[in-house]
Amino acid sequence: MRDLTLLILLILCSDLGAQELKNGRVEILNSRSVTVLRKDTTPITILRGDVILRNSDGIFKCDSARWWRKQDRFKAFGNIHFIGDNGLTIQSEELDYHQGIADLEGNVILKQDDQILEAPRLLYDTNNEIGSFNDGGKVISNDGELTATRGTYEARNKLFLFRDKIRAITTDYIIDCDIMKQYPEESIYIIASDGTAKSESGELSFGSAHIDNKNNISSFFNGVIGKDLKMGFSADSLYKMDHNEVTRLFGDSLNPAKWINFSNDTMEIHSEFINHTPELTIARNDVFTFQNKLITNSENLSWNSKDSILILWENATTWSNNYQVISDSLKYFFRNKRFKDSIYGTGRINLSSKPDSSVMTDEMAGKSLVGFLSNGQIETLIVKGNAAALIHPETDKSSNITCSEIELNFKENNLKSIRFIQAPQGEIKGLESNVQHLPNYENRWTSYASRIDFMSGRK
């Protein structure tokens, strides 16, 4: 008689469950025992042993459960498994399901494809396929491991959204931030808060970021500062391609990008755009360089750090030894200690001393320039091609001299001698002159862009 009653109850539950399933509610697929209790006019169905329940969103398995059919609610205990229609699975120790929301507690593990979410507690909306946690969680995927205080997972989009104390450990970085989206299948991280990214060689800070680990492409925005053993930089934004070791820095006229190379010659470059590779660094738009006591400015620059060749063109200017050198283009060869550094300039040459209180300057002009430097300071300069000099032997007089070449020799940061060299078929001409400046002169003694603060000790 008892077995017959149990069979009738199972049939009734099955019929009712099938009808409820059509309405998105719960159906009993299996249970070793079923007990129906009436309490406070609300019937409770108690299920024990290999319990399997189903609704329109998936299947629930557990050791035992209590089901309030009219309230569309059940509680499950022991070895809980939820299998969603999308292939997602969730394990936990306890579950409280009510009208499409599953509250899971105790060693919760969510799995979909190759990603795993572990959390002490998870709320999962079975209808919208969205899970959320607020007490800490860890995600493990092919791309690495991530922890956060709060987060949600959208199973349909395979998208994680994290908040508060986020740490992502990937193949390339250790990332710390407070707001992040992660597409684990694509290995993409979108960060919408201040953060830091550390690698084996260094670290950087940023205001926001987009990191594509699958394609080894990283973009950092809204103020980027970083350094490693070989280089340092600051910029409004940074674009990095690891597969070909390209780094691009972006700034503007008010806040230029700044980059420094610690190897070889310790070169620092400031400009609106810098493109760096291991072989060559190029920059454009109001480019400044700092190397030892040598400062340059131009519209365009290329720097070959391997061969120590610096090329400036378009409004090129150099400041050294209290002298200013202007040229259409300038090329520097920085040698090792056995050889002197050299400089070459072409087109519209003008060399002038720093204006004194009387605003008087000594100037030399010509069509080409060659010189030698020592410890970043000009030692010898030779101006050629219709060379001219405007010097002030006395405060109220100036001399205008034309010749074939003019040679300037410096020692200990001071001009020691000037040689005027005549052409084979010409002569040196000198006359009193009221001319204030030679052609191509500009007073470019302006305040320079400040160097990278935390790099200043390296120079």
Domains and their CATH numbers in the chain? 281-459 (2.60.450.10)
Q: Can you say how many angstroms the Cα of residue 181 is from the centroid of all Cα atoms in its chain?
A: 16
Element (H, E) at 2: helix 2-22
The percent of residues above 70 in pLDDT, for the chain, comes to 84
Question: pLDDT class for 263, splitting at 50, 70, 90?
Answer: low
Q: Which residue has the higher pLDDT, 274 or 337?
A: 274
What six digits make up the tokens of 221?
């925005």
- 3 pLDDT more than 60: no
Q: Would you say the pTM of this structure is higher than 0.95? A: no
Helices (H) and strands (E) in the chain, counts: 1, 36
- Going by the DSSP 8-state scheme, the letter that residue 114 receives in this structure is T
Q: Which residue has the higher pLDDT, 440 or 281?
A: 281
pLDDT for the residue numbered 59: 92
Distance CA 369, CA 339 (A): 19
Average pLDDT over residues 180-206: 91
Distance CA 437, CA 360 (A): 9
Give bridge partners of residue 181 from the DSSP assignment. Answer: 161, 190
Q: Which residue has the higher pLDDT, 413 or 155?
A: 155
pLDDT for the residue numbered 37: 86
- 18 pLDDT more than 50: no
- 126 pLDDT more than 80: yes
pLDDT for the residue numbered 22: 42
Average pLDDT over residues 79-102: 90
What six digits make up the tokens of 128?
């919208």
Dump pLDDT digits (tens) for 186-197. 889 999 999 999
Average pLDDT over residues 335-360: 78
Q: Which residue has the higher pLDDT, 191 or 37?
A: 191
Distance CA 412, CA 390 (A): 23
Number of Cα atoms under 13 Å in the Cβ half of residue 83? 7
Distance CA 316, CA 302 (A): 12
Distance CA 429, CA 406 (A): 12
DSSP per-residue letters across 9-33:
HHHHHHHHHHHHHHTT--EEEE-SE
Average pLDDT over residues 154-168: 92
Question: pLDDT class for 386, splitting at 50, 70, 90?
Answer: confident
- 220 pLDDT more than 60: yes
pLDDT for the residue numbered 452: 67
The least confident of 138-147, 170-179, 419-428 is 419-428
3-state helix, strand, coil in the chain (%, to 5): 5, 65, 30
Q: Which residue has the higher pLDDT, 425 or 78?
A: 78
Average pLDDT over residues 314-341: 82
How would you classify residue 237: left for phi > 0, otherwise alpha for psi between -120 and 50, otherwise beta? beta
Question: pLDDT class for 435, splitting at 50, 70, 90?
Answer: low
Dump pLDDT digits (tens) for 53-72. 988 888 999 999 998 888 88
Element (H, E) at 415: strand 414-421
Provide the mean pLDDT of the chain. 83
With tokens 């300069």, the residue in question is 381
- 9 pLDDT more than 80: no
Q: First and final CA of the chain: distance in angstroms?
A: 96
DSSP per-residue letters across 315-351:
EEEEEETTEEEEEEEEEEE---TTS-EEEEEEEEEEE
- 235 pLDDT more than 70: yes
Q: Which residue has the higher pLDDT, 22 or 249?
A: 249
- 24 pLDDT more than 60: no
Residue 325's φ and ψ, nearest 5 degrees, are: -115, 120
The least confident of 132-141, 234-243, 376-385 is 376-385
Number of Cα atoms under 13 Å in the Cβ half of residue 28? 30
Distance CA 363, CA 367 (A): 14
- 454 pLDDT more than 80: no
With tokens 């319990």, the residue in question is 51
Q: 457: helix, coil or strand?
A: helix
- 456 pLDDT more than 80: no
The percent of residues above 90 in pLDDT, for the chain, comes to 40
Average pLDDT over residues 96-106: 91
The least confident of 72-76, 245-249, 265-269 is 265-269
Question: pLDDT class for 19, splitting at 50, 70, 90?
Answer: very low
Number of Cα atoms under 13 Å in the Cβ half of residue 350? 19
With tokens 């740490």, the residue in question is 167
Q: Which residue has the higher pLDDT, 443 or 198?
A: 198
Q: Can you say how many angstroms the Cα of residue 18 is from the centroid of all Cα atoms in its chain?
A: 55
pLDDT for the residue numbered 373: 81
pLDDT for the residue numbered 95: 93
Question: pLDDT class for 410, splitting at 50, 70, 90?
Answer: confident
pLDDT for the residue numbered 433: 55
Question: pLDDT class for 292, splitting at 50, 70, 90?
Answer: confident
Distance CA 152, CA 161 (A): 5
Distance CA 379, CA 320 (A): 10
208 CB-near residues (< 8 Å, 6+ apart): 191, 192, 193, 220, 221, 222
pLDDT for the residue numbered 379: 85
